Structure formats: structure tokens, C-alpha cells
Amino acid sequence: MAQKRALITGITGQDGSYLAEFLLAKNYKVFGLTRRTSTPNYERIKHIEDKIELIPGDLLDQQSLTSAVEYSNPDEIYNLAAQSFVATSWSQPVLTGEFTALGATRMLEALRQVKPKAKFYQASSSEMFGKVVETPQTEKTPFHPRSPYGVAKVYGHWITINYRESYDLFAVSGILFNHESPRRGLEFVTRKISNGVARIKLGLSKNIALGNLDAKRDWGFAGDYVEAMWLMLQQDNPGDYVIATGTNHSVEEFVKAAFEAIGEGSWKKYVKISKEFMRPAEVDFLIGDAAKAQKILGWKPKVSFKQLVKMMVDSDIELLKKNSK
Ligand code: NAP
Ligand code: GDD
């Protein structure tokens, strides 16, 4: 059988790096779209850089996306690139719309014009549920996004379905709940906490400044979630799936578990609440029901909340020790 070919946008990001590893292990030829930066930011993919092929391109630039599809001639396209930080979407709402919403249309256009037989994955988000109208959230739960990012993702979700219905494409939307890892960006709350706790443990900081500790998220491990993306594209028919653990925890519970991971029982003295990290509109509570994915894809998360927190704290301690040498 011919070697399968995959094009990943957002390969330098958390999910892109795990997905690239996953596909390489399945013997795929992996291409990754990277945008120009004045210094390369290949930190997350440096261990596999010689096994993948990077193609320059930007979600803002249709021609570069069309050329990337032409060049890579993919069987599968994973559109993971986005402005993915919710807080930034209020300070850069138009840019977020350009990347996260219209970027999906540009990728779909590239696919439609160059390789309509390729299978397409759109990285949709539980952030679309926002002010949730039912619990737990499923593929049928209506959306009420609470941030410009969430609104942009709703657009990305529906344009994917629209292209599937209009042009008979194999285009799917994965509605993924929060997933974290040692490769998570430092601005997201879980990594901010694991990094902060590691710094406190090593005597490099005295406290962590956070915003709303009451928000609850359904947190899973990114390594488990990229398998679900791939499984969605291995089906005979395209469909949209919720991917989640089915359990949730508050930010406060994450903080507590992270301090417990270093054997520190009293976390309160280390945490400062700062208005700077409060949002104009909050998503208070997310919990997903991944029964459809379990039934059709045979997918289940493997890493528990406690294992995830410990994995992140341990990794940050090791990283800080290594960097201080
Ligand atoms: P991430 O770490 O922030 O990675 C985002 C990627 O998009 C990076 O590779 C980034 O490149 C790239 N990118 C941003 N703007 C671009 C542009 N204009 N042109 C080309 N590439 C661009 O995000 P992630 O956590 O891996 O998430 C992957 C996707 O899943 C995103 O679409 C996110 O919104 C979505 N999602 C994530 C979660 C989650 O919990 N992680 C949950 C649901 C959905 P640079 O390295 O150059 O910045
Ligand atoms: N980032 C951050 N920093 N969040 C904080 C802080 C802080 O100091 N303090 C409290 N929080 C709260 C936020 O208000 C939010 O309720 C929660 O922690 C999670 O914030 P993030 O980790 O930034 O993630 P998110 O849930 O907003 O968005 C992530 O998950 C989405 C899926 O639901 C991102 O990965 C999105 O790209 C993704 O779509």
C-alpha cells in the first residue's frame, strides 16, 4: 500500500507536535505548514524535524495554502492552526476572526480546488458551548460562545459542515474539550500553574498570580486527543465528534493537585488573585459527553486528571533544572 500523506497546519503548536509524532509512528509522510517568524519556533518539533517536511505558509494567505496542498498532495489535512488563546481574542478580535474563522475557509478552498478527495479535519472547540445550555455537552448541544475566539470557532465549525454538504467533501469537525500537556503554551492556566509550582519548588518564585479560580474545565491529555482526530478521518463516513473525559475540575482543584504533586498541602499562601487575568465574559463550566466517539471511533481517554497534573509539574521541574545548568 502507498505511504499515506498528511498535511498539518499548526504543526509547531501543542497538538500539531503530538499529531506529527502519532502519524510518523503510523508510517505517514508528514508535511507541516509553518509561518514566517524572525527566529524559528520549532521547540516542540525539534526532535522530529528531520522526519517531517515543513512548508512555508500562513492562514492569512490563500495562495500559500493552495500551494501547500499542491506540494504535499495529502490524503489527510488537519487544520489545527489558529489564534488559540481565548484571552487574546478580546484584544485582537479581528485577527482572531481572520486566523481562526476565515483561515478554515481558506484551507477548505485550497482542498476543494486542489485535492477534493483528501479528508479534512477542523479543530473545533468546547469553547463554542460557552454559556452552556445543557450538561454534559454533546454534538447536539446548541452553541453560545462567550469570546471572539469562541465565535470564530463556531464559524469554523459551520463552514466545515457547509463545505461537506455543498461539495460532498470528507470534512469533519472535532469538538475537543481542553487538553493539556507539558507542551502546552505557558499562558494557558494549566501550564501557568505547573510552571509556577515548579518554580516555587525550586525557589525561583514566591507565588502565582491567577484570575478566576472557580471556572471548571474538562481537562484531558493532548497525546490522547490527537488519536481521536486521526480516528475521525479513518471512518467510511464523515461525522462530527465531541472528545472529552466526562469529568471536570475547577482551576482551584488544578492548583491544589499541582501543589500536592510536590508534596505541599497548603496552596493558598502561594496564590495571588489578579484582576488582570479575569475575562470580560467567562465560560464557567464545561463537561463533555464523548459517548458517540467511544461508540463509533472506539476512542477513550487514557490519562487521568491526577496523572496529567503530575506529568506537567514533573516535566516543568525537569525543564527548569535543565535550563539552569
Ligand atoms: P497552539 O499550541 O496555540 O498552536 C497553534 C498553532 O497555529 C501554532 O503552530 C501556530 O504557529 C499556528 N498558527 C497560528 N496562526 C497562524 C497563521 N496565521 N498561519 C499559520 N499558522 C498559524 O494550539 P493547540 O493547543 O495546539 O490547539 C490546536 C488547535 O486546536 C487550535 O485550532 C485550537 O484553537 C484548537 N483547540 C485546542 C484545544 C486545546 O485545549 N488545546 C481545545 C479545542 C480546540 P506559531 O507556532 O507560528 O505561532
Ligand atoms: N489563561 C489563564 N490564565 N486562565 C486563567 C487564569 C490565568 O491566570 N486564571 C484563571 N483562569 C481561567 C480562565 O478564566 C478560564 O476559565 C480557565 O482558567 C481556562 O483558561 P485557559 O487555560 O486559558 O483555557 P480556555 O478554556 O480559555 O481555552 C482553551 O480551551 C479551549 C477548549 O475549551 C484553549 O486551548 C482554547 O484554544 C480551546 O479551544
Predicted confidence (pLDDT) per residue in 10-67, tens digit: 999 999 999 999 999 999 999 999 999 999 999 999 999 999 999 999 999 999 999 9
Residue 324 has pLDDT above 90, yes or no: no
**How far, in Å, from the CA of 18 to the mean position of ligand 1?**
12
**What is the rounded average pLDDT of the residues 117-132?**
98
Burial class of residue 239 (count of CB atoms within 10 Å of its CB; 0-12, 13-18, 19+): middle
**Residues 131, 138: Cα–Cα separation, whole Å:** 14
By annotation, the residues acting in catalysis are 125, 127, 149
**Residue 301 near residue 220, CB atoms below 8 Å:** yes
**How far, in Å, from the CA of 154 to the mean position of ligand 1?**
16
Radius of gyration of the chain measured on its C-alpha atoms = 19
Return the residue whose CA atom lies nearest to atom 46 of ligand 1: 12
- For the CA of 190, the closest atom of ligand 2 is 22
For the stretch 96-108, pLDDT in tens is 999 999 999 999 9
User: Could you count the other beta carbons within 10 Å of the beta carbon of residue 132?
Assistant: 19
**How far, in Å, from the CA of 279 to the mean position of ligand 2?**
10
224: Cβ below 6 Å to ligand 1? no
pLDDT at residue 48 in the model? 98
pLDDT at residue 325 in the model? 80
Q: What percent of the chain has pLDDT over 90?
A: 99
pLDDT at residue 1 in the model? 81
For the stretch 186-201, pLDDT in tens is 999 999 999 999 999 9
pLDDT at residue 256 in the model? 98
Q: What percent of the chain has pLDDT over 70?
A: 100
User: Could you count the other beta carbons within 10 Å of the beta carbon of residue 142?
Assistant: 10
pLDDT at residue 233 in the model? 98
Query: Cell triple for residue 167?
Result: 461539495
Return the residue whose CA atom lies nearest to atom 18 of ligand 2: 189
14: Cβ below 6 Å to ligand 1? yes
Contacts of 189 (CB under 8 A, 6+ apart): 210, 251, 254
110: Cβ below 6 Å to ligand 1? no
Q: What is the DSSP letter of 3?
A: P
pLDDT at residue 191 in the model? 98
User: Could you count the other beta carbons within 10 Å of the beta carbon of residue 324?
Assistant: 8
